[in-house]
Amino acid sequence: MTTTNHYLKFLIAAILVSAIAIIPTTSNAAEGSNEKYPKTISFTHEGLMNKIKGGWAGQTIGVTYGGPTEFRYLGRTMNDNDHIAWGDIDYVRNTMTNSIGLYDDIYMDLTFVEVFEREGIDAPVESLANAFAHAGYPLWHANQAARYNILQGIKPPKSGHWLNNPHADDIDYQIEADYAGLMAPAMPNAASKISDKVGHIMNYGDGWYGGVYMGAMYSLAFISDDIEFIVTEALKTIPAKSKFHRCISDVIAAYKANPNDWRKAWLVCHERWDSDIACSDGALSSFNIDASINSAYVVIGLLYGKGDFGRTIDIATRCGQDSDCNPASAGGILGTAIGYDRIPAYWLDPLKRAEDIKFGYTSSSLNDTYKMSFSHALQVIEKNGGKVEGDKITIKCQQPKPVRYEQSFPNLEPKERIGIGKNLANEYTFTADCAGIEIRGEAKSNNSDYVALVEVSIDGKVAQISKMPANWQVRKLEIFWDLALKEGTHEISLRWLNPQEGASVWMNDVLLLRKTR
C-alpha cells in the first residue's frame, strides 16, 4: 500500500484513527512486508546506531531550543513572530555548560541508563528507584513526591500511586522514557514492559501512559519514518477508555480535519483537555504539567511538522506549557525516525561540538550515551527473539498491545483553592466541604537537617504526623493530602509538634476536591 493510500484511508476514518492499518515503510530489508508489520527488520550496526544517535541528538537539540520558553506560555500559544533563539556553532555547548538544569529530561533518562549499564538490562526496580531517589539533582512534582516517598520507605510502585502521590498524572515519566524506546527498537511492547517497572516509581495512570506512549513512538520510529504511522500505531499501547487516549485521538482527528493549521488542533486540546485534577500547582490554574496535554503538544509538533526537523520542534515549543520537554520528545522521536545523519546541519553541527560534555549529575556524555544505548538495544533485541550475527542485526517486530488500564483520582475534580499564606504558629484549624484535600506548604530552617513534625487531624482524629524536611533536596511538596475522604464537611487541624528556633512551617494554600457531578 502506498503512502498516498495511507493518507486517503486516514481521511475516510479520521475519528477512528487508532484502528487504522498502515504498512510501515523502511529503508532496511524486511521479511513479511506484505503484512501490516514486517515480521522482522534488519539493520547493520551502523544503521541501528544511526537511529539511536538520532533519538538522543534530537532530544538534546529539542530541549536546548525550547529551554528559554519553558512555562512562559500558559494556556496560550506563542505567536509566530515571537523569536526563539538558535545561536552560533557553540550554542549547544555553551548552554550545556551554563544551564545544567535545563537538561533534566536527559540526565533523568541517564540515571536509568547508567543503572542498566552497571547491573544489566534486568536491573531490579529497587536499584533504579534508589539511584533516582539519592541522585544529586533537584526534582519537582511527581518525581520529588516519589523521591520523598522512597526515602520514607514507600517503595515502587506505591511511590507513584495517586493515593501516595498527588502528582501521579504529571509529565515526569513522560520526559524520562526516551531510553525505553531506544533500547527496544521495533519492539513497543518490550518498551512498555520496561516502562511498567520504571514509570511506576513516580507516576500512575495518565502520568504513566505519557511515558509508555513516548517509548512506543520511539520504538516504532525504527520501523518507519512515516510520522502518522508512528503517532497512530503507538497509541495502541494505551487503553482506549483512558483520558490520555481520548486526548491524543482528538489531536489526530483534528489534524485530519485541518492538516495545515496546528493552532486549530491546539484549540481542540485547550478546550477539552487543558485542566489538571490534583496537581497542587496546576489545578484551577493556567499552569498545566499534566502528561495528557503536554503529550498532545508533542503530537501536534510531530504531525504538523510533517517530517521537517526544525518545524517539528518549533511547533511543539510554540504550543506552550512544558515547552522545553515537549520539543525534546518530538525532536527525539523524529530524530530516531530519520536518523542522525539526516538531521539538518543547522541543528546538528552545534550539537556535535557538545557530544563529549558530560551531562550534569551523570558520568555520561552524548557519545557515551550512544554507545550504552546501542549495547542495551542489542541485549533487548536478543532477549526478545532477535539475532545479532556479525554486522547483521535482525529484530522480531512487535505489534503494539495496550497496557493495563489505570486511572488516577477516579471521580474527583478540583473544587476550590483557599489561600492561607502564613506560618503555622502552634495550631491552625479550618473547615472544608470536600472529598479530597491537599495542603501546600514547606518547612524552613537554618539547620538543613531539621525535620518539622506536623500533626494533622481530621474531625478530631489524628490522620498523619507529617515529616517536613527543611532540606530542599528531600522536601515534601505538600504538608498533607487525603484524596479518599468521605464527601462532606470536615474540620482540619494542623499542630506543629517540634518548633525550633530558626525554623518555620509555611502554609501556602489548600486545594479542595469534590466528586464529579
**122 contacts: CB under 8 Å, gap ≥ 6:** none
C-alpha angle with apex 195: 190 to 196, nearest 5 degrees? 95
Count Cα atoms within 13 angstroms, Cβ side, for 176: 29
d(CA 294, CA 345): 28
Alpha-helical segments (H) within 287-339: 291-305, 309-318, 325-338
Q: How much is the pLDDT for 87?
A: 86
Kindly report the pTM of this predicted structure. 0.93
Distances (CA, A) of 434 to 420, 480, 484: 17, 15, 10
pLDDT digits (tens, 9 = 90+) for 241-277: 999 999 999 999 999 999 999 999 999 999 999 999 9
Q: Is the Cβ–Cβ distance between 199 and 166 less than 8 Å? A: no
Torsion of CA 8, 11, 15, 16, to 10 degrees: 0
Q: Which CATH architecture has domain 412-515?
A: Sandwich (2.60)
Residue 331, burial from CB neighbour count under 10 angstroms (0-12, 13-18, 19+): buried
CB atoms within 10 A of CB 42: 19
Q: Is the Cβ–Cβ distance between 167 and 140 less than 8 Å? A: no
pLDDT digits (tens, 9 = 90+) for 70-80: 999 999 999 99
d(CA 114, CA 372): 8
Q: What percentage of the chain carries pLDDT values higher than 90?
A: 92
**151 contacts: CB under 8 Å, gap ≥ 6:** 133, 474
Q: Which fold has domain 3-396?
A: ADP-ribosylglycohydrolase fold (1.10.4080)
**Domain ranges (residues) in the chain:** 3-396, 412-515
Q: Which three cell numbers stand for residue 80?
A: 509566530
pLDDT band at 6 (very low <50, low <70, confident <90, very high): very low
Q: Which three cell numbers stand for residue 223?
A: 520501523
pLDDT band at 31 (very low <50, low <70, confident <90, very high): very low
pLDDT digits (tens, 9 = 90+) for 283-336: 999 999 999 999 999 999 999 999 999 999 999 999 999 999 999 999 999 999
Q: How much is the pLDDT for 19?
A: 35
The mean pLDDT value of the chain amounts to 93
d(CA 31, CA 387): 14
Which residue is associated with the grid cell 520511539? 218
Q: How much is the pLDDT for 35?
A: 57
Distances (CA, A) of 104 to 108, 163, 264, 507: 6, 26, 31, 28
Torsion of CA 507, 511, 512, 516, to 10 degrees: -170
Sheet holding 30-31, edge to edge: 30-31, 40-44, 392-396, 387-389
More confident residue, 24 or 180: 180
Three-class SS of 245-268: HHHHHHHHHHHHHCCCCHHHHHHH
Q: How much is the pLDDT for 517?
A: 83
Buried b (16+ CB within 10 A) or exposed e, 233-268: bbbbbbeeebbbbebbbbbbbbbbeebeebbebbeb
